Structure 1
């Protein structure tokens, strides 16, 4: 089953968030310390991912063009609107933390090497080991996020399932025509782009001046296009 790993990942986020909501009696000082500790760990993870890129110029161009498109389309604003819409549907007071939790958790769980590589493994080889490992990590992370940011974290399971599921299904078709060398380069450059976004998420968690990470998401698609052009030009 191609979507097995993706479904398990979504369920792990929901269960973790459910547990986190019930741990909201954690003191504010403890929450702050834990969130900043996660922020530091996320930055280290992002740096590790960013260094995996083989053609860093492609990464820079992708992020620049992605930022232009993201700001023009106001992706982060629209994600916040989705969270606010869910909040209104649940008859919660406007201005709460649901939207913040939804956006923060969605970005952390979606933007990353494990989401991409795990989904590709599911599609290419029907191997779900990477996504199952990610499920454990996301489950524990969602406990902390939900305890701090509320029920919005639970709804992040929806875009995670849609995103990873789409990649896994697309991979079953891509493998039929994409050369392996091209595929390896795409994965490495997307990992680098995602790593830089992860660093930005970590800085946001530390309370630094806010970076609109969601508005950089188009960089992932641009990276794929640039790698395909680069690979064709240099006949990889």
Structure 2
């Protein structure tokens, strides 16, 4: 068992950000939000580059990303996850609509994404909390804006976030014995490439459907096993 420190920190950031959002209400200037996310995007870019450059075989990285993109696009992962979020919104409607919508919207935002998966796996496999710590800071700022709009429900989204990410961290420890060092290296490099994509989205340079690229994380260790 690995203590999910990154997930615990994520919960704290969501709660703190949510409380700040409740206090600020609608008084948070858009220009402040924009410059903060641009700065976080630059920091995320550095993390992604550090991870991506660890590859020992660029062909493994290239083919894992290409195969992952094709697979994710054919499976329409982005559309399916978006549809799931919309279904959750419809199913969980109750008398307090703003509470429910805030809870569902923020839960989907914080749970569904490559950073949650990559961070949890990195924590479970290597004991590295960097990705989850970075994600936590992003989620904290996002929860400020969400809580200012939707209210208290955003704070309760910290519960599914913890269950989801902590579960992935423990699952990663099960995989650890079957992953060799080259497989781990290429998995890290593929994950770093997706992290770079997150930075592009944060800086609003271009919208990249990163969910459709997640299968690359499956292909990277498999290709490393056979080609290295």
- Same fold flag (TM > 0.5): yes
2:205 alignment partner, one of 199, 205, 208: 208
CA RMSD of aligned residues (A): 2.9
CA deviation profile, 1:48-99 (whole Å, cap 9, x unmatched): 2111111011111001110111011122222223333443315447998954
2:51 alignment partner, one of 42, 49, 52: 49
Task: Answer yes or no: is the 8 Å Cα contact 1:83–1:99 preserved in 2.
Answer: yes
Identify the residue that residue 67 of structure 1 maps to in structure 2. Answer: 69
Identify the residue that residue 189 of structure 1 maps to in structure 2. Answer: 186
Task: Answer yes or no: is the 8 Å Cα contact 2:10–2:139 preserved in 1.
Answer: yes
Q: Which runs of 5+ in 1 are unaligned?
A: 122-127, 232-236
Identify the residue that residue 107 of structure 1 maps to in structure 2. Answer: 113
1:116 alignment partner, one of 92, 115, 121: 121
Measured in 1, the distance between the counterparts of 2:132 and 2:145 equals 20
Measured at CA, do residues 95 and 136 of structure 1 come closer, stay the same or move farther in structure 2, by a change above 3 Å?
A: closer
Measured at CA, do residues 100 and 205 of structure 1 come closer, stay the same or move farther in structure 2, by a change above 3 Å?
A: farther
Identify the residue that residue 151 of structure 2 maps to in structure 1. Answer: none
Identify the residue that residue 58 of structure 1 maps to in structure 2. Answer: 60
1:142 alignment partner, one of 121, 127, 139: 139
Matched, 1:163 2:163: no
TM-score when scaled to structure 1? 0.75
SS at match of 2:113: helix
2:19 alignment partner, one of 12, 22, 27: 22
Identify the residue that residue 33 of structure 2 maps to in structure 1. Answer: 31
CA deviation profile, 1:29-51 (whole Å, cap 9, x unmatched): 21111111111111121112111
Q: What is the deviation of 1:219?
A: 0.5
Identify the residue that residue 228 of structure 1 maps to in structure 2. Answer: 225
Number of aligned positions between the proteins: 211
TM-score when scaled to structure 2? 0.78
Measured in 1, the distance between the counterparts of 2:189 and 2:49 equals 9
Q: What is the deviation of 1:199?
A: 0.9
Measured in 2, the distance between the counterparts of 1:200 and 1:45 equals 11
Deviates most, 186-195 or 73-82: 73-82
